[in-house]
Structure 1
Amino acid sequence: MTYTDPMTYTNPILNADWSDPDVVRVGDDFYLTASSFGRVPGLPLLHSRDLVNWTLVGHALERLEPGAEFAAPRHDCGVWAPSLRHHDDRFWIFWGDPDQGIFQVNAPGIRGPWTRPHLVKAGKGLIDPCPLWDDETGEAYLVHAWAKSRSGIKNRLTGHRMHPDGTSLLDEGKVIVDGDRIPGWFTLEGPKLYRHDGWFWILAPAGGVETGWQGAFRSRGFFGPYEEQIVLEQRDTDVNGPHQGGWVRTPSGEDWFLHFQQKGAYGRVVHLQPMRWGTDGWPVLGDEGAPVAVHRKPDLPEQSAAAPATDDDFPGGRFGRQWQWTANPQDGWATQHSGDGLRLACVRSADAHDLRKLPHVLTQRLPGTPSAVEVDLTLHGEEPGARAGLAVLGDAFGWIGLQRGADGEVHLVHRFAEAVAEKERDADHPRLAPEGRARLRIEIGAGARCRFFYDIGEGPTPSGPVFAATPWRWVGALLGLFALAPAGPGHAGAASFTRFRITPL
């Protein structure tokens, strides 16, 4: 039996892919958002009272625009690192789309209604924006980084004066931190802008997500010059590249820093670090600049254990907030009805043998601890080639499910595709599923190694070899539910999923 001290917490506090987190406090409540890239809905919104236990309460972005460009999966595009702020009795989120520019949305409450995206600055490669409304001067500012893949520029932070209403920038911008001029620094990005103790502060990581560090910059004036320090790095811990996050202060005056750690197929998990201000005026993060694994909880009212939802019974055919499509959804993909269970249409597709190209895959994050994923599936589609299943998606993918054969029979199938493969192939021999239903199970072990099982009425049976989950670019591996059929005319039927569960192993 493992003893857990109720006065401490263990990192990571969010053990799944909540990439590029930013945090804000409003009253006694804390809110967090994260990158969502090409998945829809976007800009997840999480809530906590103690900075340790978080629940998912909604999303700020219903669809990605322009819609035609996100009609198919674009896993490395869309919503890159956002900043979450509260100003003038409204919540504000700014983010960079590397192909379009800097956007913002705002709302009177965290649950909305959120405005439609407003383009603050158009341009290629504009990423990681963060606003600041300076209460001391009444001025507003914005800082952003650059994506070399789109702009040819990197390792620089550009600053602007911003209109106080957050709709536009008031100048052409100036490079306020040039990472090329700092010996040993590279890939400077992800800035978060603050005012503290008479200084302008920028907390920004460098060195890359796998092996980098967290930096701090300060200046008496927004446009510089800035001096820098490294304030968090791996040292002799297991936390590689402690990277990009946000500072928040509790009502009692404690300071805390949330950041991510890149963990391969698990994506970017979130850690909570204690923070204090040293005698030299610089922030000290973690244990004197090294990440903590276990630490005393923040001085906040006790909160019951909580985590973003994973399980789903799909009441009335509706799916929970934890699910996202791999592109902008279309009407008819999921059908509401009077009972429980998710009913997905077998959407016809010319890419029926490559799940990575399909927009109608309903996904959620791969859990970061050893877990078993289960769901019950019934295939209703009568069309030869109609299929549905449970998948692990990344650069490579594997899935197990049901398919209607040319002979009209339903078969249990298990397929996979390597990262370099253009189409899937069998991981095990197909088997008859006489009732047209199956219980599907994936056991996710250490290193995101996945073992597939099925039950077609004879008890759980293992299928095929172990599959090693892989990330997509910038995105951890995903669990997915899908139903599809080969291209052709007319409706191809549907599939029903019931009792989706994720349980610890």
Structure 2
Amino acid sequence: MNTRTYDNPVVAGFHPDPSVCRAGDDYYLVCSSFEYFPGVPIFHSRDLVHWRQIGNVLDRPSQLHLPPDIPASGGIYAPTIRHHDGTFYLITTNVGGRGNFIVTAERPEGPWSDPVWIDLPGIDPDLTWDENGSCWCAFSGTQVARIDPAAGQMLEGPYQVWSGTGGKYPEAPHLFQVDGRWYLLMSEGGTERGHAVSIARARSPRGPFEPGPANPILTHRGTDRPIQSTGHADLVQAADGSWWMVLLGTRPRGYTPEFQVLGRETFLTPVRWEDGWPVVGPVEERHPAPAVWHPLAPEPSRDDFDGDALAPYWISPRDRPDGSWSLTERPGRLTLHATGPTLDRPGHTFVGRRQQHHDCRVTARLEPAPPGSEPAGSEPPGSEPGTAGLSIRMDEAHHYDLEVSGGRARVIARIGPLRQCVAERPVPPGPLTLTIDVRTRDILPPSVIGPVAGSPTQPTGVAARGPDTISFSAGDTLLAELDGRYLSTEVATGFTGRVIGMYATEGSACFDWFDYQATG
């Protein structure tokens, strides 16, 4: 008897809208990336539980154009990945761009082709093939069309086939053929706490579709389960014949209405079939594991920037121009050159990674760039080093920054229309270790909402009932502790989660290393 279990989520942090496919004994999973570049992270697994990012599908400007006027939570929505006749296909939508497109690859780690644009309305497109080799695309609405994926042409349809059970925003459709029937899996109820998964079936992808008798087949709405907002699901059959569902969910924390700060994450849950319908139980924090178990060695928590390319988990808002960063100017260090004067507007230099744990610590070693390293037109050699540091962000209007400039370290809070320096201290010249510590413990007793002059750890007497406390240190000096609720989806709105990273807003700076540790 198999007593092995796995923990949810299987891909933690801001990794929403998962889609999965199997090629032989290997599984590949992709997620939405919205306004971040590179786009569409792709993961590999041998057991559906242990995943490792092997790249990004959209990793060059010819594939992904996200101009400065693309708002936060715009960009790349809900990709679908499929493997057919030896080729990997991915279809997705650039919201705010040209719309829906397809890219292909012989190997999942790439390189992936440039986009083939297809004139289909809506978002959340899906691909599947029938027994005759015809390619069908389902998309939000819920509509189905027969297409030519190589030419980007619609050949038949679209047909309005099924709009769910009446919940708002019927979306994320996926078509499957199982035992001679076509199944349409879709989500409805919105991507918030009312999220749900429903299903219908037909004899043809054109319909008519018969709704499942137990719809919705999955929802956590109205429950006190620690995992909420379950929806946007995809199905995959394992090599042993078992069926599994990947889906998004959230793990809200803090006092009512609770706050989710990591974004929508990827969860895995088993599926069984009864009377020709899939049956899905509640998504638990721990489930019995699949029959195949293939654990992976943990990835290093520290990046010393010794490679010739950035690791695939590093992302930047909208763009990462070649002249804004370098691993070769000072080998073994990441050099950043400012492209914009503030993190409050698009166009700045920022390289970050998703926050994946509720309790974590990020530490980085900041070194002033040597004289003469600044790009042409910036400060002359020998001038005061630029402005740089660490930032934990939701978007341009919601971020906390630990910044070093002019011999001083400061903590800056940007919350909606308000921007304030909440703490400032002198720091010694030369290399400096910067730390952002996120902790969920001790959030209900009175604690520091903002620093008090002369005593940054003195309580204000106000209970911090947010999801966590975020502290900022330069060297051994604690500068400030801030309430994490203001960097949450419930405050910032949108579809993304927190990203923590390095930035430069004036001149240049080098980072010797960056370390991310789970501390819970």
**Which TM-score bucket, shorter chain as reference?**
0.7 to 0.9
Pairing 1:452–2:471 present: yes
Match in the other structure for 2:268: 272
What are the superposed Cα offsets for residues 266-313 of structure 1, whole Å, 9 maximum, x if unpaired?
1011111100111x2110013xxx22332110011x322456765311
TM-score, normalising length: structure 2: 0.83
Q: Following the alignment from structure 1 to structure 2, what is the Cα–Cα distance between the partners of residues 137 and 343? A: 53
Match in the other structure for 2:148: 163
Residue 371 of structure 1: which of 324, 340, 360 is its match? Answer: 360
User: Is the 1:54–1:307 Cα contact (8 Å) retained in structure 2?
Assistant: no
Residue 515 of structure 2: which of 497, 500, 505 is its match? Answer: 500
Residue type at the aligned position of 1:470? S
Q: Following the alignment from structure 2 to structure 1, what is the Cα–Cα distance between the partners of residues 206 and 36? A: 35
Q: Following the alignment from structure 1 to structure 2, what is the Cα–Cα distance between the partners of residues 50 and 245? A: 18
What are the superposed Cα offsets for residues 63-96 of structure 1, whole Å, 9 maximum, x if unpaired?
4569775246632222100000001211000002
Q: Following the alignment from structure 1 to structure 2, what is the Cα–Cα distance between the partners of residues 470 and 412? A: 25
User: Is the 1:362–1:482 Cα contact (8 Å) retained in structure 2?
Assistant: yes
Pairing 1:261–2:243 present: no
* Alignment of structure 1 residues 428-439 onto 2, 5 Å: 428=423, 430-439=424-433
TM-score, normalising length: structure 1: 0.85
User: Is the 2:29–2:43 Cα contact (8 Å) retained in structure 1?
Assistant: yes
Aligned Cα RMSD in Å? 2.4
Q: Following the alignment from structure 1 to structure 2, what is the Cα–Cα distance between the partners of residues 6 and 443? A: 36
Residue type at the aligned position of 2:501? G
User: Is the 1:317–1:340 Cα contact (8 Å) retained in structure 2?
Assistant: no
User: Is the 2:68–2:347 Cα contact (8 Å) retained in structure 1?
Assistant: no
Match in the other structure for 2:126: 130
Q: Following the alignment from structure 2 to structure 1, what is the Cα–Cα distance between the partners of residues 159 and 200? A: 16
Q: Which runs of 5+ in 1 are unaligned?
A: 146-155, 405-409, 486-491
Q: Following the alignment from structure 1 to structure 2, what is the Cα–Cα distance between the partners of residues 143 and 133? A: 11
Give the secondary structure class of the aligned counterpart of 1:30: strand
User: Is the 2:58–2:64 Cα contact (8 Å) retained in structure 1?
Assistant: no
Residue 109 of structure 1: which of 96, 103, 107 is its match? Answer: 107
Match in the other structure for 2:452: none
Match in the other structure for 1:153: none
* Alignment of structure 1 residues 343-422 onto 2, 5 Å: 343-347=335-339, 349=340, 352-380=341-369, 386-394=386-394, 395-404=397-406, 410-421=407-418
Residue 289 of structure 2: which of 270, 276, 297 is its match? Answer: 297
Give the secondary structure class of the aligned counterpart of 1:128: coil
Pairing 1:461–2:447 present: no
User: Is the 1:345–1:494 Cα contact (8 Å) retained in structure 2?
Assistant: yes
Q: Following the alignment from structure 1 to structure 2, what is the Cα–Cα distance between the partners of residues 308 and 190? A: 31
Q: Following the alignment from structure 2 to structure 1, what is the Cα–Cα distance between the partners of residues 227 and 132? A: 39
What are the superposed Cα offsets for residues 381-426 of structure 1, whole Å, 9 maximum, x if unpaired?
765683111111114110113112xxxxx211111111233xx321
What are the superposed Cα offsets for residues 78-117 of structure 1, whole Å, 9 maximum, x if unpaired?
2100000001211000002233221010000111121001
Taking every aligned residue pair, what percent have the same amino acid on both sides? 26
Residue type at the aligned position of 2:425? R
User: Is the 2:332–2:512 Cα contact (8 Å) retained in structure 1?
Assistant: no
Residue type at the aligned position of 1:173? P
User: Is the 2:338–2:348 Cα contact (8 Å) retained in structure 1?
Assistant: no
* Alignment of structure 1 residues 29-40 onto 2, 5 Å: 29-40=26-37
Residue type at the aligned position of 1:189? E
Which of 262-271 and 88-97 deviates more?
262-271
User: Is the 2:364–2:512 Cα contact (8 Å) retained in structure 1?
Assistant: yes
User: Is the 1:18–1:268 Cα contact (8 Å) retained in structure 2?
Assistant: yes
Q: 1:207/1:121 Cα in 2 relative to 1: closer, same or farther (>3 Å)?
A: same
Q: Following the alignment from structure 2 to structure 1, what is the Cα–Cα distance between the partners of residues 299 and 90? A: 20
Residue 140 (structure 1) shift: 1.7
User: Is the 1:74–1:327 Cα contact (8 Å) retained in structure 2?
Assistant: no
Match in the other structure for 1:78: 75
Q: 1:53/1:460 Cα in 2 relative to 1: closer, same or farther (>3 Å)?
A: farther
Residue 465 (structure 1) shift: 3.6
Residue 121 of structure 1: which of 98, 119, 122 is its match? Answer: 119
